[in-house]
Amino acid sequence: MLAPAVSLVGVFIFLPMLLTIWLSFQAWSTQTGFGSARFVGLQNYTDLLSQLSVGRDFRQAFWNTAFYTGLSVIVILPLSVALGLMVYQTRVAGGHVLRTILFSTYMVPMIAVALVWSKLYSPNEGPLNQILGWFGFDRQLWLSSPDTALASIVLLNVWQQVGYFTVLVIAGLTQIPTSLYEAARIDGANPVQSFFGVTLPLLRRTLLFSAVIAVINAVQVFEPVALITQGGPANSTNVLTYYIRRVGIERAQGGLGSAMAVMLMLALIVVIVALFAFARRGDDDK
Amino acid sequence: MSSVRKGRLFRASKAKPLDALLVAGIVLVAVVSAFPLIWMVLSSFKTPAESMQVPPVWIPGSVNFQAYGEVADVINAGRSFWNSAVIATTTTLGILITSLMAGYAFAKYRFKGRDLLFAAVIATMFLPPIVTLIPLYRLVGSIGLNASLAGVIVPNLANAFGVFLMRQFIAGVPDDLIDAARVDGASELRIVFTVVAPAVVPAIAALALFAFVYHWNTYLWPLTVLQGQVDNYPIVLSLSRLLSYNRGAMNTGLVMAGATMAVLPPLVMFLLLQRFFVDSIVSSGVKG
């Protein structure tokens, strides 16, 4: 009964994961069989930490990914709570329609998102600079400037993903017993106080889950970079998924690419453990 | 849902200006959210001259389908759509079968190491695909599936999310139902597909939709495994070829027409069946 799922997951996920770790200690061309791999110890890792150009590019990609991930999470979480409350409230109509519109963007293939936004961002023919102009703001270079390119990709990512996280928040909101709001009101709490006293603490588990998923999704950013910016301008949008594929597949430096993948995996484990520890500390405070 | 009680509660404090602000907020969010997609459709109807105007033209002078015809010429859109349909449908069917079986075993069987094995499978849900991409590429190549649709499909026939979702729902199927079928002499496989599956139809629908949309949209793995074999490109990969067809604003109509075509299947599917999407997120995401 378990054989199909477990063997498929074993062969196509677990085995490659173990191979990634093993290959990170080998010199190996991706164009050749695994048998041609040659053990080199920590050479790949020291290369990544060295002043070689691959090391400098890797570190840039690592920090770009960290910035991209951090900014995505910091924007998405509060926004999803605000939007979730907007959908969940029943004071005024429209919540349901809003939920449909928000979640629709999550269905759009990232490649189409990247294409459409590259046109929206176009400094001359794009509508975003025109709209900024109406409000008296300066025109931006968006994807064409090293200062704004990565943040511009965060923006399109937030646009695509926030609907999913909003639905997670709505799911969390439905779990909060109405009696708690009732009690808060009787105690004389105003809506702001009951938001911080009841809603937010009881959404903690939802938000932890959201944060973990948002981090995992964010490190996968690939299409806008591969298609629109190619890591530029000036390496400012070079991110790990793009760079690992470039080194490990396109340049066929499988050992080096695998070492980068292991570093990414370790960084993710650290971040996720830290998120859980942070949430647990909140539990103890209660 | 307790919308009646909830409504009364929130309405307890009356404040009209707040309502107006809320309406304004909802309208603003809806407009910002829908704008890129509306812009995409409008731009697909523009003439190349309209696409290049500064400041930009918002509404095209006429609805002109020329760009759609051009997309079909440049990328063999029919073939790309067929490839996408084959990839998404086959992968989804595989995921449904493997997830139902494994979900049933994890939910209803007792055996040594069950929880550990389940945890190991679930852990892969948190592994970004890039981590396994390099050896997987080689592995699939070594079994001769590179550059083929089978190479895109086979590694994805089972996944942790499906197993997890099915286990959650099948755990709620009464044991009596399964025992009765066993007494009647039904085989375990027969029980999964004729007794358990009908009892978890909403979860199956949700998983089918998630899987279909995900594998219609996915880009990194097909790009890597297909190695430039454009005859086997799904529509999302073919779209990237539109961008290089004509650089700059010249190709805007073309790119937008292609994007509109690629977006339609997953979007229509969602709009028809959104209830299942939302329900399954509610039950799998948070309670789990």
Which residues 6+ apart lie within 8 Å of B24 measured at CB? none
Q: Does residue B151 contact residue B145 with C-beta atoms inside 8 Å?
A: yes
Could you give the C-alpha distances from B205 to A237, B37, B200, in angstroms and in order?
38, 26, 9
The amino acid sitting at A190 is N
Domain contains A215: yes
The CA distance from B83 to B89, in Å, is 10
Domain contains A123: yes
Angle between helices B16-44 and A53-88 (to 10 degrees): 130
**Contact between chains at B138 and A33 (C-beta distance less than 8 A):** yes
Range of the domain at A217: 61-285
Tell me what the mean pLDDT of segment B12-28 comes to: 81
Domain contains A217: yes
Bin B144: left if φ > 0, else alpha if -120 < ψ < 50, else beta.
Answer: left
Q: Does residue B245 contact residue B254 with C-beta atoms inside 8 Å?
A: yes
Beta pairing partners, A253: A29
| Residue A94 pLDDT | 86
Bin B215: left if φ > 0, else alpha if -120 < ψ < 50, else beta.
Answer: alpha
**Contact between chains at A125 and B51 (C-beta distance less than 8 A):** yes
How many domains is chain A built from?
Answer: 1
Q: Does residue A204 contact residue A119 with C-beta atoms inside 8 Å?
A: no
Write down how long chain B is: 288
As for the ipTM of the complex, it is 0.93
Contact status of A9 with chain B (Cβ, < 8 Å):
yes
Beta pairing partners, A38: A27
> Closest Cα of chain A to B86: distance in Å?
17
How many domains is chain B built from?
Answer: 2
Range of the domain at B34: 3-67
Q: Does residue B262 contact residue B219 with C-beta atoms inside 8 Å?
A: no
Say if residue B148 is in the same domain as residue B278.
yes
A93 to chain B: closest CA residue: B23
Give the number of beta-carbon pairs within 8 Å between A and B: 295
Show which of residues 109-148 on chain B sit within 8 Å of chain A, judged by CB atoms.
109, 117, 120-121, 124, 126-139, 142
pLDDT higher than threshold 50 for residue B221: yes
Domain contains A185: yes
Rounded to two decimals, what is the model's pTM?
Answer: 0.92
Say if residue B146 is in the same domain as residue B58.
no
pLDDT higher than threshold 70 for residue B6: no
Q: Among B14, B34, B67, give the residue marking a domain's end.
A: B67
Say if residue B212 is in the same domain as residue B111.
yes
**Contact between chains at A112 and B102 (C-beta distance less than 8 A):** no
| Residue B282 pLDDT | 66
Contact status of A254 with chain B (Cβ, < 8 Å):
yes
Say if residue B35 is in the same domain as residue B143.
no
> Closest Cα of chain A to B120: distance in Å?
9
**Contact between chains at B19 and A216 (C-beta distance less than 8 A):** no
Say if residue B72 is in the same domain as residue B147.
yes
Say if residue B241 is in the same domain as residue B157.
yes
Say if residue B231 is in the same domain as residue B135.
yes
| Residue A282 pLDDT | 66
Q: Which residues of B touch A223 (CB under 8 A)?
A: 219
Domain contains A7: no
Q: Among B32, B67, B102, give the residue marking a domain's end.
A: B67
**Contact between chains at B266 and A109 (C-beta distance less than 8 A):** yes
| Residue A242 pLDDT | 97
Say if residue B19 is in the same domain as residue B96.
no
**Tens-level pLDDT at each residue, chain A (286 residues):** 899 999 999 999 999 999 999 999 999 999 999 999 999 999 999 999 999 999 999 999 999 999 999 999 999 999 999 999 999 988 888 888 999 999 999 999 999 999 999 999 998 889 999 999 999 998 899 999 999 999 999 999 999 999 999 999 998 998 899 899 999 989 998 888 999 999 999 999 899 999 999 999 999 999 999 999 999 899 999 999 999 999 999 999 999 999 999 999 999 999 999 999 988 876 655 4
**Contact between chains at B121 and A5 (C-beta distance less than 8 A):** yes
Q: Which residues of A touch B219 (CB under 8 A)?
A: 109-111, 222-223
Task: Look up the CATH number of the domain holding residue A128.
Answer: 1.10.3720.10
Say if residue B164 is in the same domain as residue B228.
yes
**Contact between chains at A94 and B26 (C-beta distance less than 8 A):** yes
Q: Which residues of A touch B88 (CB under 8 A)?
A: none
Report which of B56, B83, B84, B73 is spatially closest to residue B246, judged by C-alpha positions: B73
Say if residue B9 is in the same domain as residue B103.
no
Could you give the C-alpha distances from A43 to A15, A39, A49, A99, A259, in angstroms and in order?
23, 9, 10, 51, 10
Instruction: Work out the mean pLDDT of chain B and round it to a whole number.
Output: 88
Question: How many CB atoms within 10 Å of residue B73?
Answer: 10
Q: Which residues of B112-126 are buried (b: 16+ CB within 10 A; e: fewer)?
A: eeeeebbebbbebee
Task: Look up the CATH number of the domain holding residue B172.
Answer: 1.10.3720.10
The CA distance from B141 to A286, in Å, is 54
Q: Does residue A64 contact residue A237 with C-beta atoms inside 8 Å?
A: yes
Beta strands in chain A (DSSP E): 26-27, 38-39
The CA distance from A22 to A35, in Å, is 12
Say if residue B138 is in the same domain as residue B243.
yes
Say if residue B273 is in the same domain as residue B152.
yes
